[in-house]
Structure 1
């Protein structure tokens, strides 16, 4: 039986037109798919998928609402019909997806498909005009932006914590070195142990953006062609990455408004008096965690006298460069300062 013939059989089953022999083919198909996947799934994983599927069949057909009475033929037949249609629908939707994945013989894909099924346990959609805060069972706090949705399992696994995002959300992840927290956004995956970061991934947008507030974040592309080779970067605070969906390019950069990272009991002082430029830039680097590179070493001889308190980093750099006859530009995740310098 080829794929087209099998599709026709499934359609016939849904229409209730199969004889007993054809129905048996459907049930044998369900059993054989899991049996023939020994190189992909261990016995526990097979049983987990099977149990999950049948639990959903029960809950979506007779669970909690169906009452079976042996002596009432009409009720009995109606209940069996509901059960039959429910089973058929679940087989077509659930098992057909698993079948396609197994046909590709991709261990990574089957793991991700299982994660997708688990992640659909709970789905939260924010249709309000304000942010919505969600606290997950592991202590992670998600701030879901408007017109966004997130799905995740009731209980995370022991090795990974997978969630699936559409739209935008800020994550403050509870650290767990044994179970990375993984955010799936279409073709891009963001993986952390414990940190805070923002992910923006709307369906109608041409790009996906990830920016980091604290900690370190691994961002990489999910590639079907070369699953072993990941196109990705490691981000640190005040850094971001933009993934172009069409070109598949990952472009690292700096967040629009870098924030102070240095923890200090007192206010950080940005007042400089006859301070060598190299020391000024080193302080900015230490405070914001962003690399600032002097391309012309003659600039080291310049000194700065200025009050740069209460100004954003970009404004501070602009005033510094004007004062010492220089200019700056952003390249990737660093700033570069160049120019003739003071005389």
Structure 2
């Protein structure tokens, strides 16, 4: 009997239409489930677990006959609930039912239940979620999300790579679980790359601010995490469990200039030149040798990428620059 057939049998049992043999099959499954738990349960506790299990199954699996489409998440939610009896026992059932809508922080209850979409095509696949958020799922990747988000947050689970354009909602954080890393936002756009065979997980921010932290049992204030802004990315090494923030390879202008002459300079003091670059790209540029601030710069840097702009600036003032984390540092002897 496959999963679909067993699901139908369960609905038939709840409707009271099973044959004696079919009823015995269901009860044998239930007994096997409770007998194979690693927990020691007294008989009253077993009866309580049994009762809550069937109540949960009935609420999750039962659907009106007129509703023809049966989304996969209903079955998976039920199956997860059943497996939780084996793993967690009485305590879990006496607190509350857990599903994908409630799993924002604690990795002890994070379960990728929901509608799973896989992209095996050569091109990215666009998925629109019920809140208006967009997921651009890359090839050889999958994302799992609920048919309906909960009241506390909007949680999705990613394997592979996807670009997320999240609809702003200050009352419901959007949470992406990708392996051992969690990305949480209210409304922004970013890319998460988390392939199982890869040694690292990467998060790249396009717009807004993103909180990225390790999926850990530690208290919130002790978690290994960072805040990312546009043009920044984070790389998480699965072995060392180290988070390394840096800039993306080709930073883009995030504050569009009101005039096309934003990067045209004529005998402009270096501090003013660098300030314009900082404001445009949202990056920090630090001059380590203060004598460089006496230099002036003349050039048209429009239509050039940030690193090329910095190369030209440094060459003209006899300096060099390097990237450390998410900041850029300029040093040198200075202009003569």
Which category describes the TM-score, using the shorter chain as reference length? 0.7 to 0.9
* 1:210 is aligned to 2:203: yes
Unaligned runs of 5+ in 1: 1-15, 37-45, 65-87
Cα distance 1:127–1:174, how it changes in 2: closer, same or farther (>3 A)? same
Q: Which moved more, 1:22-31 or 1:209-218?
A: 22-31
Task: Provide the residue aligned with 2:234 in structure 1.
Answer: 241
Cα distance 1:50–1:322, how it changes in 2: closer, same or farther (>3 A)? farther
Match of 2:312 among 316, 319, 322: 319
Unaligned runs of 5+ in 2: 1-24, 69-77
Map 1:1-150; keep pairs closer than 5 Å: 26=35, 32=45, 51-54=55-58, 93-99=83-89, 116=111, 119-150=112-143
User: Partners of 1:208 and 1:286 in 2: how far apart?
Assistant: 29
Q: Deviations over 1:148-168 (max 9, x none)?
A: 100000000111100000011
Task: Provide the residue aligned with 2:264 in structure 1.
Answer: 271
Give 3-state SS (helix, strand or coil) of 2:222's partner: coil
Root-mean-square deviation (CA), in Å?
Answer: 3.9
User: Partners of 1:21 and 1:342 in 2: how far apart?
Assistant: 81
Cα distance 1:110–1:51, how it changes in 2: closer, same or farther (>3 A)? farther
- Give the count of matched residue pairs: 290
Asked whether the 8 Å contact 2:143–2:159 carries over to 1, the reply is: yes
Q: Once the 2 structures are TM-superposed, how far is the Cα of residue 98 of structure 1 from its aligned partner? A: 3.6
Give 3-state SS (helix, strand or coil) of 2:315's partner: helix
Q: Once the 2 structures are TM-superposed, how far is the Cα of residue 34 of structure 1 from its aligned partner? A: 10
Give 3-state SS (helix, strand or coil) of 1:341's partner: coil
TM-score normalised per structure 1: 0.73
User: Partners of 2:89 and 2:104 in 1: how far apart?
Assistant: 11
Give 3-state SS (helix, strand or coil) of 1:257's partner: coil
Q: Once the 2 structures are TM-superposed, how far is the Cα of residue 325 of structure 1 from its aligned partner? A: 0.4
